[in-house]
Structure 1
């Protein structure tokens, strides 16, 4: 693959993640505007948007993106939708970890990288509406490129039909790319989104994949686009189904305790959090996934 071709593909990926961000932000603001159930007395929530800037240790430009956060909405208590395109040189620890995990030689000799993606986490007002996470990304080094991402559902009050419907949409969007992908990526999510010190998963799963490089960039990008497209199709019906359900103080307590699990996972185990903080990205953008309120017992 020539440098010119790769530059074009990077631009396509970055543009796609931004377009997906715009679609999701518009859909979520539409939910806020249309809500007439519990909590509708206040005005609809809207996203606060600011640019994020990443600066290399030598002070040079290292990319950035957009952080979009809605707080205190009628349906969304807090939701963040971030996009970024960052680049530079990996530090020694990141070089070692990446070389070990991906089997890439030469990272120390040429540690350049480029990464672009979208990351989303929604924490809801109504405890009956599940929290959710989604991200997709492309990563490049001179030694190889790959895609990753997924989506997973994190209800504090489980509804079997919500879990089944969410997974069914993800399975449909994976199917055109190979019948083996959904079961493999579902199992990967079950393993990845597990909290060892609690001995349990943080939610009811979804799909997760990383290091995806078949050698066919267009095919791998098409898979990642379909994973991104699956998100609204999988999640919006659940919000519509549950957002008007009355809740109790006990429901709210269960929600806050469950959010503690989510915070523990993201701070201790999440690979994206570790990468973002270790490579100098805006810490507010990296940590936007944390819930606005949580509780431990």
Structure 2
């Protein structure tokens, strides 16, 4: 059984890295082909890649990953694509949080964990191009394993056709795994990406799932892979559609105010932000989702 788990961990970690590499290649290609608009004279953006490490209490190896960030590009004002595989023992606060969510027995006696995944947040130069978030992950303890993730669209200037097309691609990748899945995960995203103190959603939704363990690891991994495959297929056409749309200073103001909303959510409510900081992962990698500029009015 141990060898089986090690194989599963290796396959999941390799898949998240494969998704990361494909996204980096596609987004740098967008930068190369941006020849219109006020930022077209800038050098094509490139990702700066930094190795990250998880800090352990005893100084032992606790894993890490790659933080890939592009700033000031022709299309992307800031985008971060992180991939990591971390492990060790959960601290008391993280143990309590995981036990409350999963009801996992034995965490206090054996708090070992392993987690791997990819996380992406993109903030765009042109206010008409929607920002986006995506992540997929696998989490393992000696007591249980599960997958989680999703993707949601965060336009500051909404277009109904963009929203419809984005959701259609998500649905098309969920339906082969069960026609009940997309409606449930869409509703879950609507609930999860909601900002109570503002009384509104963070964006126009998408899909979200967590704690996914049907008892069939291969089935759940196949679903998580399709969530990863859906990302570029859903998002690239929207970038192509909007990246040369003229914009005004009023549009930019709208974008910056919406970014403030995004920052509030990620700092106050996001599970991934809290878990990353509580388990000692690189703080810069955890907080790479924050926009470069934002406004509050």
Q: Which bracket does the TM-score occupy, shorter chain normalised?
A: over 0.9
The separation in 1 between residues aligned to 2:209 and 2:54, in whole angstroms, is 26
Aligned to 1:22: 21
1:2-17 maps to which residues of 2 (within 5 A)?
2-17=1-16
Structure 1 residues 58-97: aligned runs within 5 Å: 58-97=58-97
Which residue is equivalent to 1:146?
Answer: 146
> Structure 2: any 5+ residue segments left out of the alignment?
none
Tell whether 2:131 aligns with 1:137. no
> Aligned to 2:13, what secondary structure does the other structure show?
helix
CA-to-aligned-CA distance 1:235-279 (integer Å, 9 cap, x gap): 000000000000000000000000000000000000000000011
Q: Aligned runs of 1:249-264 on 2, under 5 Å?
A: 249-264=249-264
Distance (whole Å) between structure 1 residues aligned to residue 55 and residue 243 of structure 2: 41
Secondary structure of the 1:245 match is: coil
1:280 corresponds to: 280
CA distance in 2, matches of 1:214, 1:252: 45
Instruction: State yes or no: 1:242 paired with 2:253.
Output: no
Q: In the alignment, which residue of structure 1 is the partner of 2:173? A: 173
Q: CA deviation at 1:209?
A: 0.0
Q: Does 1:201 align with 2:201?
A: yes
Q: Unaligned regions of 5+ residues in structure 1, if any? A: none
Is contact 2:55-2:282 (8 Å) kept?
no
Q: What is the CA deviation profile of residues 185-206 of structure 1, one whole-angstrom value per residue up to 9, with x for unaligned ones?
A: 0000000000000000010000
Deviations 1:97-117 (A, max 9, x none): 111111111111110000000
3-state SS, counterpart of residue 170 of structure 2: helix
RMSD, matched Cα: 0.5
TM-score by length of 1: 0.99
TM-score normalised by structure 2 residue count: 0.99
In structure 1, C-alpha distance between the alignment counterparts of 2:64 and 2:42, rounded to whole Å: 33
Could you tell me how far 1:55 is from its partner in structure 2?
A: 2.3
Aligned equivalent of 2:118: 118
